[in-house]
Chains A and B, each alone.
Chain A
């Protein structure tokens, strides 16, 4: 008998969004902000990007060879290296950048079993490590105009009470980390990822909504010295964090309710740290805190199905 159909094991329909495709799309989404950072910082940015990407690949390759596994270039090291470089101060010595990305890749990713199994975002963990190891180098900023030491909009607001013009912050022509300054270009990249359905819209939506809500509360009820919601939404690393760091699917809870809480929690901690901690910026720490809480958020039960009674619920919760 001649078979009209093919028999094979599942999956029968292959998705176009495998890991390398996702990573390719993330790089495309980062491209405008990266191009702008080359314009802003010139050679410094180029050196930082290349050092970070090189050591991301080198540490990944070395670790996989030590474990005697096969190295597959899935692009995740490229994305981690680029994202990590974008969060660094442009004046950071290149050797520090190398230490940071090696720490992030080895401790943050490969000790946990590699791609898809890490608890924390490797790029942010590497940055937190640098923050602890080299606090002075990680908090000194240069102006894009004359390369003189200056303050970022957030640290100017926090430590001397000056508020930058919104226009300058929006365009990104201001001191800050290599790739974080241009909120508009990062929003453009985020929109691309949302349209291609690479990232879950819930995380950035609730992240930005929480930041906007909390900063408006403070601005309108506690005084203008707390900074306007527009200022808080577009300054610092918020856009980079909300669209590219917090949305890493590995470190998110799997359920939708958990993701909503994840996004809102990131916003809550960002504003808490911006207002009350010793640091002017809280995006990195807040995303990492929510990464740590993500496995607990996973326990939040999914929405109750229609007609579900208590015995079913008991069975599920066992």
Chain B
């Protein structure tokens, strides 16, 4: 039950995009059509799980025993970036179909704030390993959901008579703000 709550909390109540405003750049950049949005969303879930698993080990098995917690930001950034690059090369060589689906999005999110934010939240909330994985899957799913909603709306906006100054990123940011207002309805759902 605890795991389900962590998952739903990260996916809906504390959605990374709509309530923490993390990862806005891919949210605006790849939400122009549904296909790109879903590719990006699944890539984010994949990287989040990978990153949280790796950084959990680094934090609890290396940094903690030697009292090096102040190095966490540097260590996390370095580990996540190199790990994702390595995985990308691995996928390209050994699982080409998967690389074709996720590959082009992987380099885009290696240094994304949502990924680093996830690992830092994981440390603050003091999750154990399994909880961290559920947290990562939840956060990634919430990211995918927000991207899909946004992509659906933006496809409709293509044919709307939007005032010229607001076209493109302007209306996308206004829409993101409206979505954040709406997701406020879920606040208070988990203590």
**A28–B157 Cα gap in the complex (Å)?**
32
Partner of A292, one of B149, B157, B162: B149
The CB with the most chain A CB atoms within 10 A, among B155, B178, B188, is that of: B178
Q: Is the CB of B149 within 8 A of A296?
A: yes
With A112-B160, A278-B187, A295-B152 already in contact, the answer to whether A107 and B174 are too (CB < 8 A) is yes
Task: Apart from A119-B157, A277-B188, A292-B149, list 11 A-B contacts with CB within 8 A.
Answer: A111-B174, A119-B156, A125-B181, A128-B181, A128-B184, A131-B184, A276-B189, A282-B185, A285-B182, A285-B184, A298-B152
Q: Is the CB of A132 within 8 A of B163?
A: no
Measured CB to CB, the residues of B under 8 A from A are 34, 148-149, 152-153, 155-157, 160-163, 166, 171, 174-175, 178-179, 181-182, 184-189
Q: Which residue of A lies closest to B175 (CB)?
A: A119
Closest Cβ of chain B to A34, distance in Å, is 27
With A125-B178, A278-B188, A292-B179 already in contact, the answer to whether A111 and B162 are too (CB < 8 A) is yes
Partner of B149, one of A107, A286, A293: A293
With A111-B171, A113-B162, A299-B34 already in contact, the answer to whether A293 and B152 are too (CB < 8 A) is yes
Partner of A111, one of B152, B166, B187: B166
Q: Is the CB of A132 within 8 A of B184?
A: yes
Grouping DSSP codes into helix (H, G, I), strand (E, B) and loop, the A interface class, with mixed when no group exceeds half, is: helix
**A276–B8 Cα gap in the complex (Å)?**
13
**A296–B154 Cα gap in the complex (Å)?**
11
| Chain A residues touching B, range | 20 to 34
19 contacts between A and B (CB under 8 A): A67-B163, A107-B178, A108-B178, A113-B162, A125-B178, A128-B181, A129-B181, A277-B186, A277-B189, A282-B185, A285-B182, A285-B184, A285-B185, A288-B185, A293-B152, A295-B153, A295-B155, A296-B149, A296-B152
With A107-B178, A125-B178 already in contact, the answer to whether A273 and B153 are too (CB < 8 A) is no
Contacts of A292 on B, CB cut-off 8 Å?
149, 153, 179, 182
Within 8 A of B (CB), among A107-161: 107-108, 110-114, 117, 119-120, 125, 128-129, 131-132
Q: Which residue of A lies closest to B190 (CB)?
A: A276
Closest Cβ of chain A to B120, distance in Å, is 26
Within 8 A of B (CB), among A260-318: 273, 276-279, 282, 284-286, 288-289, 292-296, 298-299
Number of A-B contacts (CB under 8 A): 83
Contacts of A113 on B, CB cut-off 8 Å?
160-163
Contacts of B179 on A, CB cut-off 8 Å?
292
Q: Is the CB of B181 within 8 A of A296?
A: no
**A282–B186 Cα gap in the complex (Å)?**
9
**A294–B149 Cα gap in the complex (Å)?**
9
Q: Which residue of A lies closest to B159 (CB)?
A: A117
With A107-B174, A112-B162, A113-B162 already in contact, the answer to whether A289 and B182 are too (CB < 8 A) is yes
Q: Is the CB of A296 within 8 A of B148?
A: yes
Q: Is the CB of B153 within 8 A of A111?
A: no
Contacts of B157 on A, CB cut-off 8 Å?
112, 119
Contacts of A296 on B, CB cut-off 8 Å?
148-149, 152
